[in-house]
Structure 1
């Protein structure tokens, strides 16, 4: 009799356990991966990841350099956002989020690129400069003008995250115009103003990249015209334009100076501009999928098109003729590349990721 009671008790426990396991599995299936995963506050070394919360479960955030599994890390949190640190500047990452207790799998990866770091001295100082560069105006060929009116309240003003101050330039364009108005209590004194664009993306402002220089001058409104190199900005993140004003002509591109202003620069291909202006979207060159694993499909080109593929260091890693509107990628290592397409008189350069 006792054995029979124990047997019934054990069967009841097993039945209860199995029932609850099934319920857990049912709930896990019904609970989808995290939604609305976004990446904000991206700096050269950090980024904030946010997602839709789910009551009763923590979350795991996994991130890696694109094409390099194991190159990042995994963080656990009970919150709905987390800041990833120790990132590498000018690098493309993918991040995904999973509810730990739910078992519903990871969200679709979100890809982002960390910006460049540029040298700055006295970057945290907040002072009223002896003079400053106001009304920085850039009239780019075939593009709307960018106008930035500075108040001159900071020794360093970082405008790179301000979309209204983004500088847009056409690769290979000529006679782009830049002008500055001197302001502040020292406007009548000899003043040096210099402006550079980091065309080659080496995180430095070289003498060959200077587009305006008014040395020790009393000119209230220095102006200049400049040409944009055809291969400008062929790096994995946005480069900067730097404006410097100083009371003497002797300073470095890092300071110390009276004032430094930094602006984000976006380069546009002339062919892409022509397509947008004519609205002939049917002729637009499109690559897919991106990221790609084995084959990169290319539409909007003729069968006579040739291609060249470059890595992030600017080295040519492959070339040939486009066959049946696709290019084979099997021989490439995982990473970020640029493909340059030469179709008759048209040259197009696009970025893609090999996964």
Structure 2
């Protein structure tokens, strides 16, 4: 009898032990290591972005990694427990970044989500006319104070994005005055009486605000609307010469409040505007000869310049447009070991061209 009771007790003990172990194992492995779904990047600005993903109720911990596109080390910001998004800050303007997300299950990182690439450049609202046949913009000219004008002649269109056109870029200097703009109105039905409104997103927040209107014409006897404008001394985030803001030109039969949306008759045109503190960096016709390059990029100490003579004069500017170094290259090299980490622009001047290239000091 006693032997039977001992056997029963032992059997119950083994059964309960396995049941408990199975419960523990089930609890410990209830999460999974599959890649998070719906990874997205939103709220992108020159220096910030938000990474988000689909929340898994069984997963409380995630790891996020991001870096500039290229052979860079991954950066992993702190992701609070139970949170399915993380804010990235201190990003380099006008830079392509890649990002990925993974679950953490039992202190083990799971499968990475597919790499997502985003660019730290402003996105703007859309706008266009419904009809440009009876009136449209035929010329936009911006003349920076004391500099070469940007002249843009065009045919009728509902909307044209000229921001990728190197010949139509506008270069303005902080705190400058007496900059000029003119817009020529064309069409078959009295275009002179229509509205012309031009914004430049000086504060680089992606919004066309009333304070950023540089031309506002509600009607004129002439087919040309023109005026003068000043550039704020603190225009643009960081004043990064590699980053542009947008100038939006709206020619419309009705007043447009914020440069967004669709209206009846007219045309919309967008242009890149570069803001800087140096007149030398505002030269309109920038050339980037393909044969001139710099490497390694990013660089730790010695920057090599390929495609120049042994000695060429150079100037190096930081991301705020400030001159930080100047001299002649030595054996096609420049020593940048003493530079702090960040984005820089080297200007190389030979007998015919001015070449400007971006590099990163790591």
What's the TM-score, normalizing by structure 2? 0.49
Between structure 1 and structure 2, the one with the greater Rg is 2
